[in-house]
């Protein structure tokens, strides 16, 4: 197992998959967190803050985002990597099947697809976790609601920090911008509740 992981890590280095995976992690984690925030605020706005309903809908959203993520990343990344291998084969006048380069390319496709699938699911489920305690009677529903909003904000901030680090920019600024997007979403939903739209 250790040998497999070591080889897999080497393949990812050769294919330079870390940068792409980090980008997918942030983009799809952001999608998962913001979609979940919209779901929670939508339930609150509709006066249907029922933990069972929120968790069921959240599970459906997380599952859909995960399936969408793995499918889209696998197809897009596979097509792009295959094109690159074919271009390299044409330039070198050789077949690269069953070479380290081809295996590294395949490893990158699987890794990126996995990150693309898991990041929105984890972001969604982490944000929804307080409602599990509310469903079990361990937390009042409104407490779970406020905790979910707080966890969601922290998740958005962390994703912004990761983005800032990868671009070597101001991490606090990027984190704050992500939180601001979440705040804007929540504010629009609150305005809808106030105006009874």
- What CA–CA distances, in Å, run from 157 to 39, 78, 82, 171? 19, 31, 35, 9
Region of 97 please: left (phi>0), alpha (psi -120 to 50) or beta. beta
Interaxial angle between packed helices 51-92 and 17-45, expressed in degrees from 0 to 180 and rounded to the nearest 10: 160
d(CA 48, CA 74): 37
pLDDT reported for residue 154: 96
Q: Give CA separation, 37 vs 45, 69, 183, 192, in Å.
A: 12, 19, 9, 15
- Contact call for residues 20 and 77 (beta carbons, < 8 A): yes
pLDDT at residue 192 in the model: 77
Concatenated DSSP letters of 72-105:
HHHHHHHHHHHHHHHHHHHHHTS--TTSHHHHHH
User: How far apart, in whole angstroms, are the C-alpha atoms of residue 36 and residue 23?
Assistant: 20
Query: What is the reported pLDDT for 190?
Result: 85
For residue 116, the enclosing domain spans 2-195
Spell out the per-residue pLDDT of the chain, length 197, in tens.
777 778 888 877 887 888 888 888 998 999 999 999 999 999 999 888 999 999 999 999 999 999 998 998 889 888 888 888 888 777 787 777 778 888 888 888 899 999 999 999 999 999 999 999 999 999 999 999 999 999 999 999 999 999 888 777 888 999 999 999 999 999 998 887 777 65
DSSP state string for 128-139: HHHHHHHHTTSS
- The pLDDT value recorded for residue 197 is 53
Tell me the C-alpha distance between 122 and 55, whole Å: 14
**For position 160, what pLDDT does the model report?**
92
SS3 category, 46: coil
pTM: 0.86
The total of structural domains in the chain comes to 1
């Amino acid at each position: 197992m250790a040998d497999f992981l070591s080889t897999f890590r080497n393949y990812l280095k050769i294919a330079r998959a870390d940068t792409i995976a980090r980008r997918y992690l942030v983009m799809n984690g952001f999608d998962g967190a913001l979609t979940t925030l919209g779901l929670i605020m939508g339930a609150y706005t509709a006066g249907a803050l029922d933990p069972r309903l929120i968790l069921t809908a959240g599970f459906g959203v997380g599952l859909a985002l995960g399936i969408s993520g793995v499918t889209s990343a696998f197809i897009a990344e596979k097509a792009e990597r295959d094109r690159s291998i074919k271009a390299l084969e044409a330039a070198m006048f050789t077949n690269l099947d069953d070479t380290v380069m081809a295996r590294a390319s395949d490893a990158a496709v699987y890794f990126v697809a996995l990150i693309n699938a898991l990041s929105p699911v984890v972001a969604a489920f982490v944000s929804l976790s307080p409602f599990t305690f509310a469903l079990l009677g361990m937390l009042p529903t409104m407490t779970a609601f406020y905790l979910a909003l707080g966890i969601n904000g922290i998740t958005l901030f962390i994703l912004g920090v990761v983005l800032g680090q990868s671009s070597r920019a101001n991490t606090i600024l990027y984190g704050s911008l992500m939180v601001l997007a979440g705040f804007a979403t929540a504010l629009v939903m609150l305005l809808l509740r106030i105006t009874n739209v």
